[in-house]
Structure 1
């Protein structure tokens, strides 16, 4: 609303200026067959009034100005020049993007005016040598100024549009990162709780079978269940702290890492699974995302051994190569026919983790031959 009021005020001021300048030229009465009268000054007022519609109807304002100017001269009023009365209308048409129309009208005015004035006997040397150059110069300047203002306005609009698109892209990217982080947290929570529940389930069976005949074994199994429950509660609290702490400070859950494999192996061993951990090659610092993904893959594989494989032994092998880390987890369980149905969420999660880093996970098994999980993770995480 304010911008609209400013435009109206600006157009009114321009109209007053045009009328004032042309009125001075009319009042000077530099010759002509007819002295200035009310009709001449009505023409002056009309030129100024056309500036009020120049934005909505730029071509109409230009054509009306040119037509009025020709009618003014045809009536024999004193000369007021050609370019001066029509300059504002030429500027407005060019500013509105009607460059060809403005140029055509200017050329037509020059041709018609020059033809009639030569026919009336005016001095060709003065008319063609001096006045024509100044008239064309003023007309070209008005058209060029209008075109430049339009180009500047379009450039600024494009810059604003680009800035808006960039802001929208940044917002979209931030939203995508939030979703990825939520997905990562959900996967981590699934892995931790799945592993903990598997340990609790196995130990609950041990406690139930040993409750009457071997109270000591039952107490040991219940102690393992208690520790597993405490670990799960700690993980949940850490995850809630992570969700609350958007700034990444205090309360953030510790990231999964191969440095934490010993507690995983101990929990699996307490669940009745004998785990052998072996490392090949020279252990090197890993990118955090690769380190975390490798740890979660091992955790998910051991959980599978406890919950589904019916295994008594498992082997975890880490092999450090020049450009990648290979993780292999195998067991001596009953195995399964992986072609018989869709992969479980755990196997799918392992594959997705590796794929996000530019790696891959291959799971092989057959009935009676156990499971074998082979993961290949690049040491430089894919961006």
Structure 2
């Protein structure tokens, strides 16, 4: 309990003690006049206000028992409303509305019985005293129950706000994780493709120099220059993305089917690119997914298949885009087992609602089917 609550309850207890003491001193009835015992009842009723928050049921029952004992001792009447109102309020505030109503009703009934027995006028009791006491006690219960309802609503609102904040944090963390995964995939595709091409063409250039074939060496170096230049461009775009503040608009992925010819030229193998059907504007995510799938398939062809040529077919069909990458190598298994190539391609296709299959036979073939719908 806070110090503020203790001060409030102490003040309330003092008020209750003072009002009851004044009523006792008025000595408006009762066969026994006010004495020290009567005033001790006033002090006790006031002290009960100090435990009304932590033990509302105890305060309510003790108040009822104390008032009963006071009237049984035939001290001057002090009424019911003021002594019991704070206890009724506290009980209702703590969710004990029914016990509060029950105790209040029993006290009112007992009070009416004893006062009528002692000769109280019925008109005065039912016309003034009883309605006043009922109104004050009912108001105390209603006020306590209203405060409790407001506290429950406030607590629920705070929980909703906390849940919303937690959901927002989780969503932000998920978006960051997705972004990091996307960057990791892009870096894997770019670096794997480029390093594979450069490694292969460096061997070609070395063998050409050993064979005194400068033209072949120059051709291999030209492929290396093209591949490294393309990789540098994409890496710069990725670095710019990582440096961009989080509040900026979502990034535009690098790579597009419009760059397939440049990608094929940087591969170092004879690559034939054929486009079938009428090209249509593609959703950005589908466009970059298709590009990355072709890039990874070409990387696998260079790295694993020992292929001498690759055919890339792009089919623009109603509602979808089909891609086939076929090489004449030895049926590579790039990306299976512990690799990430085929796994990454398949994940990319599934993220846009598509499928990807890979078959090995006379060469290696990758088929992707991507729906032409914008994916969040």
Superposed counterparts of 1:80-91, under 5 Å: 80-91=78-89
In structure 2, what is the equivalent of residue 330 of structure 1? 326
Name which of 360, 363, 366 aligns with 1:373: 366
Assess if the C-alpha contact under 8 Å between 1:239 and 1:253 holds in 2: no
Superposed counterparts of 1:1-383, under 5 Å: 4-211=2-209, 212-247=211-246, 255-268=254-267, 271=268, 273-336=269-332, 342=337, 344-366=339-361, 369-383=362-376
TM-score, normalised to structure 2's length? 0.91
Q: Shift of residue 347 of structure 1?
A: 0.4
Q: Which consecutive residues of structure 2, in runs of 5 or more, have no partner in the other structure?
A: none
RMSD of equivalent CA atoms: 2.3
CA deviation profile, 1:326-356 (whole Å, cap 9, x unmatched) = 2221222222579xx6373110001111111
Number of equivalenced pairs: 373
2-structure distance, mates of 1:324, 1:118: 93
Q: Secondary structure at the match of 2:323?
A: strand
Q: Secondary structure at the match of 2:32?
A: coil
1-structure distance, mates of 2:51, 2:248: 61
Q: Shift of residue 129 of structure 1?
A: 4.9
Q: Which consecutive residues of structure 1, in runs of 5 or more, have no partner in the other structure?
A: none
TM-score, normalised to structure 1's length? 0.90
Q: Shift of residue 276 of structure 1?
A: 1.8
2-structure distance, mates of 1:229, 1:237: 12
2-structure distance, mates of 1:227, 1:248: 35
Assess if the C-alpha contact under 8 Å between 2:60 and 2:87 holds in 1: yes
Q: Secondary structure at the match of 2:304?
A: helix
CA deviation profile, 1:174-206 (whole Å, cap 9, x unmatched) = 011101111111111111111111211221221
1-structure distance, mates of 2:313, 2:278: 13
Assess if the C-alpha contact under 8 Å between 2:304 and 2:333 holds in 1: no
